[in-house]
Amino acid sequence: MKVPFLDLNKQYQSISKEIDEAIQRVILNSSFIQGREVDEFESAFAQKQNSSHCIGVGNGTDALIIALKAIGIVAGDEVIVPANSFIATSEAVTAGGGKVVFADVEPDTYSINPQEIKKKINSKTKAIIPVHLYGIPAEMDKIVQLAKECNLFIIEDCAQAHLAEYKSSTEGWRKVGNFGQISTFSFYPGKNLGAYGDAGAILTNNEELAIRVRMLANHGRIAKYDHLFEGFNSRLDGLQAAILNVKIKYLEEWTEDRRRNVAHYLKLLEGIEGIEVPRIHSNSKPVWHLFVVKAHKREKLIEFLSKHEIQTGIHYPKALPNLKAYQYLNHNSAEFPISNYNQDKVLSLPLFPEMMMEQIEFVVDKIKEFYKH
């Protein structure tokens, strides 16, 4: 049985008529940049995330850079990011004019460890960027507490966590993206809500920040040639917005399908020696962008699964401080023990909403077979 890592084509087939019509509509109206589709999507996404303001931008990396500019990052400001994430999180800090400071992650949830954040805070620290990695919410209660105590901004990187929920001890269940001052999303095609090209968004409940973000993303202007400062050209385009307007209607359903698939995996994987599964706290409802386990003898397992036509991934093969891009920070590997352990063990198993139960059972059967030998 063939098990692809992800099957975007299968999803397209299920909504092709609506998608094709949406694309046609944008072309006929020539509403390529901004326009009605973008407005519609911004309000639909804000509503789904229970946030007051949504600003569509070019992609999730731009969203982070613009968010950093919006909170006023200047040269010398330090921004704390997890040692285990996609490089966009840290890259944006540098591009936004700040200095990258890594903090190690938690073993169970893979997200940034509040204790480790605390160790990295000093007088130059301006912001924290927690990432809800793989769709699992970070420990926001403790991070919010720290940020309050030290007067820091929080930018939540929600690129992998559309609709994920976290139960705050003071405010109850809330969607991620509402715990800091500002949050960022990616609609890269493979993300839980994916466009057919690059796209992203910024959410905030602060009106002043919303206005600033909207100007930053559009050449620092409000009216056509009235530029109040220099910004960027990073706008959500009409075609991507129209596609997202179709897909957002299915996001809850697809999220439930992901949850059902992961529940099935977790049940079947129980007690397999050689595999560690993520442990989810009761105050968190993940949306499972990826289903990441820690596998012993990982490379051999990947080879075995691939021989049986099961595709897997590694997110990410190198912890950020170990990348050549960050050699200049002169970290040694003992500084991030969990991230270093993870880079050698993490394995992303196939996961997408349209996956069949038999495919999951086949994957787990093969994993069992591998560890038996």
Ligand X SMILES: *Cc1c(COP(=O)(O)O)cnc(C)c1O
Per DSSP (E only), the strands in 21-137 are 53-57, 78-82, 99-103, 125-128
Query: Residue 335 and residue 141: Cα distance in Å, rounded?
Result: 25
> In this structure, what token pair is assigned to residue 8?
């975007």
Residue 59 or residue 109: which is nearer to ligand X going by CB? Answer: 59
Nearest to residue 243, comparing CAs of 74, 5, 37?
37
Q: Does 237 bind ligand X (CB under 6 A)?
A: no
For residue 84, the minimal CB distance to ligand X (Å) is 10
Residue 199 or residue 305: which is nearer to ligand X going by CB? Answer: 199
Q: Does 347 bind ligand X (CB under 6 A)?
A: no
Number of amino acids touching ligand X (CB under 6 A): 15
Count how many Cα atoms sit within 13 Å of the Cα of residue 106 in the half-sphere of its side chain.
22
Q: Does 159 bind ligand X (CB under 6 A)?
A: yes
Count how many Cα atoms sit within 13 Å of the Cα of residue 20 in the half-sphere of its side chain.
6
Query: Residue 147 and residue 286: Cα distance in Å, rounded?
Result: 23
For residue 188, the minimal CB distance to ligand X (Å) is 4
Residue 91 or residue 354: which is nearer to ligand X going by CB? Answer: 91
Site for ligand X in 64-103 (CB under 6 A): 85-86, 88-89
Interface residue with ligand X among 41, 45, 110, 188 (CB under 6 A) is 188
Q: Does 131 bind ligand X (CB under 6 A)?
A: yes
Query: Residue 284 and residue 13: Cα distance in Å, rounded?
Result: 32
Q: Does 60 bind ligand X (CB under 6 A)?
A: yes
Q: Does 164 bind ligand X (CB under 6 A)?
A: no
Interface residue with ligand X among 11, 49, 111, 160 (CB under 6 A) is 160
Which residue ranges make up the site for ligand X (CB under 6 A)? 59-61, 85-86, 88-89, 131, 157, 159-160, 186, 188, 198, 200
